[in-house]
Structure 1
Amino acid sequence: MQQRILQPGEIEALDKTSFPRILLPQVTTLFAERAARLRQLADGNPIADYLQFAAKIVDAQQAAAASVELAALDISTVERSQQHSMPLLPAAEHVDPAWQAVLDRMLETLASAQGLPEPLQPLIAELRKLSPTERDDIATTLLRNDVAARHIGMAPFIMAALQVTYAKRAAALHAADVPYTDPATICPVCASAPVASVLRIGGKSNGHRYLHCGTCCTEWHMVRVKCSHCESTAGVHYETIEGSKDVVTAETCDECGTYRKVVNQEKDPFAEPLADDLASLMLDLLMSEQTRFQRASANPLLYVAVAEAQEDAPAQQDLIDPAQ
């Protein structure tokens, strides 16, 4: 009797212990849920004003994601990416031109938003006046984590527009098309660094850890107790603020001297990786003041983190207060 050879997808379907390797962004709900979480986390938070401001940026992302249509992208490189373990759409190597229309739509929404701090209006006007080439140059430097001090104020707006663009690109993919990358610590879709990792609940991903891309919002699986920056399994420890509910902890690595936060939905089902990372800035301050560990990657809505080593605490506080 002739037997049919099962394909990988069919084998996984038979395995009741299987779980998704890749979680692609659900753009229709991603930004609305993130904005709601930011507002929830703002209550009683030392940086409440900034979280409320960030929520307005995410509202603008939601509006842009719903109204800006992207032309179909040629993904004929899927086979080549899989063959060479390369990300599908490396953002820093070629900035997707569609992001410019997304930024314009976001700035239009923000310019008319109620309660936006008055000092931000000139910044929005300046962003609108920049030429496409100037915008692309700034976007490229941000994606490469090379942030000039004069662009820190612009960074959250530009990164937010890039995030919408690449999240929509990622959402149009099939999980099976996403390659295994080397190293496994960069996003297999856009080659960006994760902003944080998240312990998921619900469905087949329940109990598993995923790294959450700071640019395209794709998530990819990584085992627990493994450094998400250098992949070491030795010398991994966890730090938290005393008295917290351990929803957010800092995973430190003795091997590479970095840390990245872990957001635990088992402790709070509404926890969201980017929002909870941003709202736990006090943990970042604790890490910078009391430990030797450096943050592995920045939060795209607070890009001042890239320059933390050059700034003292008072300067950082000035930069995170949009009302000043």
Structure 2
Amino acid sequence: MNTQIQPDPSAIGGVPKAPLTFLPDPAKLFATRAERFDFLAEHGGNIAPYLRFLGALTAVQARLATEMPAADPLPADRIELARASRMPPIDRADLATDAALYATLDRLLDLAADIEMPEPARIALQAVKAATLADRHWLLENVLADRIPDDSAAAHLFVAAAIQLHLSRLAATLPADKLVPIRTGVCPSCGGRPATSSVVGIGNLDGARYASCSCCTTQWNEVRLTCLCCGSTKAISYRSVETIEATVRAEVCSDCDSWVKVLYQNKNHSLEPVADDVASLGLDLMMKETDKKRGGFNPYLVGY
């Protein structure tokens, strides 16, 4: 059922001023995400094998987040310069040549080789392990630029997992009080795009919205009833596969013809920004039948 909601009535209320960001705790975040993928796989129907594979891959991320030495914090002067310039302190453009990221990728590929996965993913894993330095650089650049070719989505998936791990560990070292808003739909830590946004149900923040970075996993506050792609507040509507009470919806902007998923964690605290994005693939398939384009970036959904 295609439900259209105009507008979201719960968005109006006395929500106090919310913190700009929640920075990641990588080990906890990936462990929680892996558990959510595993739970969703039990009820995942046709996509259960894919969800189970992503759960195992995310468990590898969680293991490495625990085992690897702490990431070196960014220099204080770089953080101050970024703040003064209203720019994210993590420069994604520089990371494609970062030796630490390449080391993280190598370790993730080694551990991922032991998990059960679909045969196309196994072939892609072997291809990335055998890739030249130039080819790996190309893969890293694509993910860091939020652009992944549909015909090589599987290879980019493993690279994206390494980038998520590396960037989340960098973001965890940032001083939250030094971060500033960049612009609507842009991560204050690394400048990335959101995978989804979530309406949270945390104490005094009940009803506040946080976008979730697809790369560094930082969550940052965004005003509700606002398009995360163009910033418009004029033509926002909501669609879902199920009913008006659906806890995962497409927030649709008629100004820029884009949409981003909203997860209502205030109604279901178990919802996870990346895992439930993948598990709600039916919503993506429904929206593909419209003239709207997906605005959220999730490397695990490229090609769908």
Compute the TM-score of the two structures, normalised by the length of structure 2: 0.88
After TM superposition, list the pairs within 5 Å mapping 1:148-163 onto structure 2.
148-163=149-164
Whether the 8 Å CA contact 1:160–1:301 is kept in 2: the answer is: no
RMSD over aligned Cα, in angstroms?
A: 2.0
Q: Which residue is 1:235 aligned to?
A: 235
* Count of aligned pairs: 287
Tell me the alpha carbon deviations over residues 132-171 of structure 1, each in whole angstroms, 9 at most, x when there is no partner.
Answer: 3421221102222333345311111100100000001111
Tell me by how many angstroms 1:212 deviates: 0.4
Segments of 5+ residues of structure 1 without an aligned counterpart are 1-15, 306-324
Segments of 5+ residues of structure 2 without an aligned counterpart are 1-14
Tell me the alpha carbon deviations over residues 171-216 of structure 1, each in whole angstroms, 9 at most, x when there is no partner.
Answer: 11111111221x2311111111000001112244332100100000
Whether the 8 Å CA contact 1:194–1:213 is kept in 2: the answer is: yes
After TM superposition, list the pairs within 5 Å mapping 1:182-221 onto structure 2.
183-221=183-221
Whether the 8 Å CA contact 1:245–1:267 is kept in 2: the answer is: no
Whether the 8 Å CA contact 1:196–1:261 is kept in 2: the answer is: yes
Q: Which residue is 1:101 aligned to?
A: 103
Q: Which residue is 2:283 aligned to?
A: 283
2:54 aligned counterpart, secondary structure: helix
Q: Which has the larger radius of gyration?
A: 1
Q: Are the structure 2 counterparts of residues 256 and 120 from structure 1 closer, same or farther at C-alpha, using a change threshold of 3 Å?
A: closer
Q: Are the structure 2 counterparts of residues 134 and 204 from structure 1 closer, same or farther at C-alpha, using a change threshold of 3 Å?
A: farther
Q: Are the structure 2 counterparts of residues 256 and 215 from structure 1 closer, same or farther at C-alpha, using a change threshold of 3 Å?
A: same
Whether the 8 Å CA contact 1:248–1:261 is kept in 2: the answer is: yes
Give the AA of the match of 2:113. A
Q: Which residue is 1:5 aligned to?
A: none
Compute the TM-score of the two structures, normalised by the length of structure 1: 0.83
Aligned equivalents of 1:143 and 1:279: distance in 2? 24
Aligned equivalents of 1:221 and 1:170: distance in 2? 16
Identity %: 32
Tell me the alpha carbon deviations over residues 222-265 of structure 1, each in whole angstroms, 9 at most, x when there is no partner.
Answer: 11111111111101000001248511000000111000000111
Aligned equivalents of 1:48 and 1:148: distance in 2? 24
After TM superposition, list the pairs within 5 Å mapping 1:1-324 onto structure 2.
17-45=16-44, 46-75=46-75, 76-95=77-96, 96-113=98-115, 115-181=116-182, 183-243=183-243, 245-289=245-289, 291-305=290-304
Aligned equivalents of 2:296 and 2:18: distance in 1? 27
1:273 aligned counterpart, secondary structure: coil
2:154 aligned counterpart, secondary structure: coil
Aligned equivalents of 2:73 and 2:104: distance in 1? 16
Q: Which residue is 1:9 aligned to?
A: none
Which stretch of the first structure deviates more once superposed, 116-125 or 49-58?
116-125
Aligned equivalents of 2:218 and 2:259: distance in 1? 20
Whether the 8 Å CA contact 1:110–1:116 is kept in 2: the answer is: no
2:185 aligned counterpart, secondary structure: coil
Q: Are the structure 2 counterparts of residues 116 and 94 from structure 1 closer, same or farther at C-alpha, using a change threshold of 3 Å?
A: closer
Whether the 8 Å CA contact 1:155–1:303 is kept in 2: the answer is: no
Which structure exhibits the higher relative contact order, with contacts defined as CA atoms closer than 8 Å and separated by 6 or more residues?
2
Tell me by how many angstroms 1:117 deviates: 3.2
Whether the 8 Å CA contact 1:70–1:98 is kept in 2: the answer is: no
Aligned equivalents of 2:185 and 2:70: distance in 1? 28
1:92 aligned counterpart, secondary structure: helix
